[in-house]
Structure 1
């Protein structure tokens, strides 16, 4: 069976291994937000039990894939990630996606399902309205770089030092702009499709300006299986302050994934 070794495909282009298990019962794969990177989830390694592998998707155009061109569309991103996940399905796969990552995780899960291969055991989405639903009036396709910078600051997606460092910002903005355009095109093109046949759990911050309870509850229409939702205190990046409770909740949803 495949294992999370440095030589594995899972540790190659598309995944960063954050925690390995000698005998995993499940593999939690995390999908970062717009402008985010796999390292966002590195602190989760201390929260995941020893029988769960932890990995995060390495989006092109950032960190150790800085020179790789960012994907232009959701299909360009979800297609190769789905292939990589199908190549590492020796144990049940759990997907967790935050913000843009929720949409990416959903699309990857759909592609896996339509391929006839293994399906995701459970999809956890966070800080995101359901596909085809948005409570935000902002259009990512028309936002200027200055507006994107202001947006990230207001959402709390980057620390103040990063946003204040002009040279660093100029290095980061191409991939961030690409992410905003990707999600904007995805929203514009989304027309609905057959739902997933896997359980979906949605999380959000009660003070998130970009999502509300109704747009999160609409994730129920994205699955023909069970649906649940839970809110936390905080805004769009509530998970920074509530990571222990969040990870405990998602891994406690099924007995096989518990410590």
Structure 2
């Protein structure tokens, strides 16, 4: 259960506290996703990495709130929760992770924080073209049946959800809003980031090409690494045993050298 003090708040959700955490992985869900999708990651995290996840309005414990329909209003909602949810030192040790739409949201949140002098330590993006290669689209204007067909095509929605007509009817407005956010998103010009960026994608994912993935290197003056998997758009689930260690490796790599050593064993 999500702690009561996080309800109706934009602060990132915490599922499993790491008392000796040296870094925090802050996850941004895909279109139609919710913070709870990262609960398993929080349980599988190493002892020194604490996993949190942002909760977009209109889903999860924020279901009764109006979903954002553009990137700017979504950031207006989320970024204050990031700055209030962490101390300065904690935010400096955060690594942002986003999959699909979440990659673009994580990137733009990092840009906003960088303008205040408080950027995250690193950014890990997954399954999404670089911002300047965004494809756009108009599925957010499509019929419910066409929107559902796209969800089935991508395969990231649980079968028990897809088979529950009443639940789908309740979730579709937020899903449609998410599609509108990413399909109308265009990055604004501005200074590039100065932090490490790790790019993960599947070579059989129709939503991102190798060229579109490599273009993430243009968003930062820091190092950029690209790693390829297989497993379709939601390879995060089909290749989880391989992907998750790679994500945590990127988190650990962002720690200062003086903080990377494991504690000695007896």
TM-score for both structures, normalised by structure 1: 0.89
State the Cα distance separating 1:6 from its structure 2 match. 4.6
Partners of 2:136 and 2:182 within 8 A in 1: no
State the Cα distance separating 1:22 from its structure 2 match. 1.1
Q: Which residue of 1 aligns with 2:231?
A: 234
Q: How does 1:1-259 map to 2 (within 5 A)?
A: 6=3, 12-87=9-84, 88=86, 89-91=88-90, 92-116=93-117, 118-134=118-134, 138-187=137-186, 190-253=187-250, 254=253, 256=259
Aligned length: 251
What's the CA shift string for 1:122-151, capped at 9, x where partnerless?
Answer: 1000010000214x5853344332221111
State the Cα distance separating 1:9 from its structure 2 match. 6.6
Quote the Cα distance in structure 1 between the aligned partners of 2:80 and 2:108: 12
What's the CA shift string for 1:67-99, capped at 9, x where partnerless?
Answer: 010012211111332222223043201100000
Partners of 2:30 and 2:102 within 8 A in 1: yes
Partners of 1:11 and 1:17 within 8 A in 2: no
SS at match of 2:131: coil
Partners of 1:9 and 1:84 within 8 A in 2: no
SS at match of 2:113: helix
State the Cα distance separating 1:192 from its structure 2 match. 3.5
Partners of 1:38 and 1:58 within 8 A in 2: yes
Q: Which moved more, 1:247-256 or 1:61-70?
A: 247-256
Partners of 2:58 and 2:67 within 8 A in 1: yes
State the Cα distance separating 1:205 from its structure 2 match. 1.2
State the Cα distance separating 1:258 from its structure 2 match. 7.8
Partners of 1:60 and 1:68 within 8 A in 2: yes
State the Cα distance separating 1:100 from its structure 2 match. 0.4
Please report the RMSD computed on the Cα atoms of aligned residues, expressed in angstroms.
Answer: 2.3
TM-score for both structures, normalised by structure 2: 0.87
Q: Unpaired runs of 5+ in structure 1?
A: none
Quote the Cα distance in structure 1 between the aligned partners of 2:14 and 2:260: 18
Quote the Cα distance in structure 2 between the aligned partners of 1:164 and 1:72: 26
Q: Unpaired runs of 5+ in structure 2?
A: none
Quote the Cα distance in structure 2 between the aligned partners of 1:66 and 1:82: 19
SS at match of 2:185: helix
State the Cα distance separating 1:24 from its structure 2 match. 1.5
